[in-house]
Amino acid sequence: MAQKPNQRGATRSSVKATKRHWPKRSSFSPAQYLRAHKMTLRDSFMRLVNYPLSSVMTVMVIAIALSLPGGLYVLLKNVQSVTDQWEQQSVISLYLFAEVEDAQALALSHQISAQDNVASVEYISKEEGLRYFERSSGYEQILSSLPENPLPIVLQVIPKEAVDVASLPVLQALRDQLAAQKEVEYAELDAQWLQRLANILSFGQRFVYVLSTLLMVAVFLIVGNTIRMSVESRRDEVLVMKLVGATDAYIRRPFLYMGFWFGVLGGFFATLCILLLSWWVSAPAKRLIDSYQSDFLLQTFNADEIVLCLTISAFIGVIGAWIAVNRHIVNIELQ
């Protein structure tokens, strides 16, 4: 026991001597610096390979967390593509008051058709409306027994603007303008379903954003916890590196590359899951699309989106590792 202080003093003197010979970052040439990073990148990957079970479990949890928002993004992408192809001619139906005569209705029809944003106006008299309703409803005898025709004159206005999600505000403004005419009792735009679909898509996009944020936070926590356990398991190694004068940046480097590998591999398997799922549902989706005689093609991740997914996952892995390792290496001090 009496010799222990001398041994500790000898250890500290040897550490000081080693510190004097520890190479600083500025002493490395760019080629040596890149070579050191390349070696650390390879060694970090080999550490994952040496612990296959825990590494695979962590990577697959990250992949599942990333594949959920990725799959919802692909779904919204396909729905948005379908709605973009639903460009058709819209109709604004103007139901006139019952007391409006044919002459007034015809004059209003000519006035509306002269507008620049109107393609044509179809005039449907009370008699034509009644005949159409009789054919479509099958109540000819009941309708013929009525003392007078209860149906109003209808003007079907066809705008020049094709109906899609982007043109809905223009069409609604035209409907409001026509509804303000004193002869018009009620105006109906037949593209209300498209507005509801646009609202559903907007809700879906926000839901995907919120879910993606929450799952990215989950990936941060997964990577951070994994790196924290790795730092604790290598506590003695980190302590020795601190004793010989290693900087915090040098100590952080292998853990940051470990987080990078977790992120890249998780993003890779998430992308693979999304591509396999898209391939799996492509056959029934094609049969459904063919039944509607549509030329729509099911979409999945393209090359740019795959690169973006891998970049985001790698960034999340590095940032999660950086936060975790910074919090824990400062607690490992020289004794």
* Segment 121-178, tens digit of pLDDT: 888 887 777 677 666 665 666 656 566 666 788 888 888 776 666 667 788 888 888 8
φ and ψ at residue 196, rounded to 5 degrees: -65, -40
Q: Is the pLDDT of residue 13 over 50?
A: no
Domain residue spans of the chain? 27-84+197-329, 91-190
pLDDT of 104 strictly over 70:
yes
pLDDT confidence bin for 4, thresholds 50/70/90? very low
Percent of the chain at pLDDT > 70 equals 77
Beta-carbon contacts of 315 under 8 Å, excluding residues fewer than 6 positions away, are 263
Residues 212-267: pLDDT tens digits?
A: 888 888 888 888 888 888 888 888 887 887 778 777 778 888 889 999 999 999 99
Write down the mean pLDDT value for the chain.
78
**Burial (Cβ within 10 Å: 0-12, 13-18, ≥19) of residue 130:** middle
Distance CA 102, CA 325 (A): 83
List pLDDT tens digits, range 60-69. 999 998 898 8
Residue 292 to residues 81, 148, 163, Cα–Cα distance (Å):
15, 42, 19
pLDDT tens per residue across span 266-302: 999 999 999 998 888 888 877 877 776 666 777 888 8
Q: At what angle do helices 248-291 and 192-233 cross, to 10 degrees?
A: 150
Which residues touch 164 (CB under 8 Å, ≥6 apart)? Answer: 83, 84, 86, 87, 194
Tell me: pLDDT of 335 over 70. Answer: no
Decide if 315 contacts 267 (C-beta within 8 A): no
- d(CA 160, CA 170) in angstroms, rounded, equals 11
d(CA 238, CA 225): 17
Residue range 67-86, pLDDT digits in tens: 988 888 888 888 777 766 65
75-78 own/partner pairs: CB under 8 Å, 24+ apart: 76/201, 76/204, 76/205, 76/208, 77/299, 78/298, 78/299
**Does the domain made of 91-190 have the CATH classification 3.30.70.3040?**
yes
| Residue 8 dihedral angles phi and psi, to the nearest 5° | -65, -40
pTM of the complete model: 0.62
Q: Cα dist. 287→72, 140, 186, 283, 290 in Å?
A: 22, 41, 41, 6, 5
